[in-house]
Amino acid sequence: MPELPEVEVVRRGLAEHVVGRGVAEVEILDPRSVRRHGPGPTDFIARLRGRRIVSAERRGKYLWLPLDDDDAILGHLGMSGQLLVSDASIPDPRHLRVRLRLDDGAELRFVDQRIFGGLSVSEGGAELPAEIEHIARDPLDPLFDAAEFARRLRRRETGVKRAILDQTLISGVGNIYADEALWRTPLHYARNTRHLRNREIEGLLGHLRDVMTDALAEGGTSFDALYVNVNGQSGYFDRSLHAYGREGEPCDRCATPIRRDAFMNRSSYWCPRCQPRPRNGRW
């Protein structure tokens, strides 16, 4: 699933290519991609036709495009969603679900192979859609409160990776960048949050920021053709990964083979030497 860097790359592309454009027409090719819009596809079309996009915003892994009537287009890419800005003359991609024809002749296309993502209109959601008010700020947000994050983290009694994947505590972090930040810190993914030291929390937060900033600079992480920016281009941060997806390869720090454990229906990648497994879950 796209994480903060991948979604931010898309947001920046939308800010460059669709902000200021009007929505001339809307075509829904698969109503499942607007299933989160409660009033239905016909209402979705009516609310967007003739509106102008005034900015492109993000909270965690969610995107929204504020409109000139104070509503907003709210989007989540899910596992395979893509928002592509294309010339109308370019043939439709496979798995095209929603098309917004813009007043400059371009099209904003929502493509989604697995249909886990979707679009909706958030009424009065230009500043922050009510649907995502529960999502915490991300570590790159200037208003992110590091001290409050540390306090809330310590009040929990769970593994540190499980905690930082909770989007109500800190947003934008997914499996890839959690593993990378934990490797950089270094901390084992099962370390109990209640027993983390101040310097460990500060280090983890710093490495979360660093790894996401590094990924942004390289256009995000693309393991297949499903994640692309608005121009259809893949990121290349996968070449810079130290832990994620590297089972059996030597650790870049100590040369010990990286291990993979099953974790929350996913995987965790870690170095047995640099990130020792905690004893009794305490340290």
Active site residues: 2-3, 61, 266
Helix (H, G, I), strand (E, B) or coil at 16: helix
Spatial CB neighbours of 230, under 8 Å, sequence gap ≥ 6 = 10, 13, 14, 17, 83, 84, 85
Contact 229, 9 (CB under 8 A): yes
The answer to the question of whether 101 is labelled as a binding residue is no
The answer to the question of whether 114 is labelled as a binding residue is yes
Q: Which run of H or E residues covers position 205?
A: helix 198-217
The answer to the question of whether 12 is labelled as a binding residue is no
Please name every residue paired with 110 in a beta bridge, in sequence order, or none if there are none.
Answer: 83, 98
Angstrom distances, CA of residue 233 to CA of 115, 174, 216, 227? 20, 21, 14, 8
Mark the binding-site residues, compressed into ranges. Answer: 95, 114, 156
